[in-house]
């Protein structure tokens, strides 16, 4: 009988302290790896959301400017425009102005909407790499200061920047009023 008890005693043995410590160490290592992976995934997701928000803001402001430039009544209405500022006179006679400022923002004034003068459209631009350019029928650059009546198309080039991202958007616009042409004397 004594031998049977000895066999039972040897087979009913538990975990040793070393085995428990090895398992706990392995769990700790897997836990740290999982936490690191989740942390990196959160950073990537957050960065992706910030980038998407930045791109959406850039596109929204850029396409707003393009849309409103297309409302230009005629090239004579560009008087006072520069390569950093554009004056838009709409067909109904309202004036909309966009100005790229050295404070790395674009301000918008719009007579159509009460109280919307000098509103910041976006504050994420690079002043030195953003401009309006004006072209004649042959595609030659027009000096807007003294040849505004020759403008047939307007090119926008705006570089948007924030902490981690930048994007340059470019487009040419032929304003609707300019596309139709100058009114003849019998139209006035």
pLDDT per residue over 168-179, tens digit each?
999 999 887 766
Q: pLDDT at position 180, please?
A: 57
Measured from the Cβ of residue 168, the count of other Cβ atoms closer than 10 Å reads 13
Question: H helices within 123-163, ranges in order?
Answer: none
Q: pLDDT at position 71, please?
A: 86
Q: 88-124, pLDDT tens digit by residue?
A: 988 788 889 999 999 999 999 987 777 677 899 999 9
What sign does the CA torsion over 67, 51, 157, 125 have? positive
pTM of the model: 0.74
Q: 41-63, pLDDT tens digit by residue?
A: 999 999 999 999 999 999 999 99
Paired strand residues for 125: 160
- How big is the CA angle at 104 (ends 153 and 118), to the nearest 5 degrees? 75
SS3 at position 91: coil
């Amino acid at each position: 009988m004594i031998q049977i008890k000895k066999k039972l005693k040897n087979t009913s043995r538990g975990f040793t302290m070393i085995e428990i410590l090895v398992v706990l160490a392995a769990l700790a290592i897997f836990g740290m790896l999982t936490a690191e992976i989740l942390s990196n995934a959160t950073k990537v997701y957050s960065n992706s959301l910030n980038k998407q928000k930045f791109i959406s803001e850039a596109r929204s402001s850029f396409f707003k400017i393009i849309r409103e430039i297309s409302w230009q009544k005629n090239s004579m209405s560009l008087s006072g425009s520069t390569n950093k500022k554009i004056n838009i006179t709409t067909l109904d006679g309202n004036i909309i102005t966009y100005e790229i400022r050295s404070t790395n923002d674009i301000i918008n004034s719009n007579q159509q909407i009460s109280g919307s003068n000098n509103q910041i459209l976006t504050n994420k631009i690079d002043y030195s790499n953003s401009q309006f350019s004006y072209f004649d029928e042959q595609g030659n650059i027009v000096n807007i200061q003294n040849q505004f009546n020759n403008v047939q198309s307007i090119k926008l080039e705006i570089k948007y920047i924030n902490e981690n991202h930048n994007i340059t958007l470019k487009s040419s616009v032929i304003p609707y009023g300019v596309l139709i042409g100058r009114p003849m004397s019998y139209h006035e």
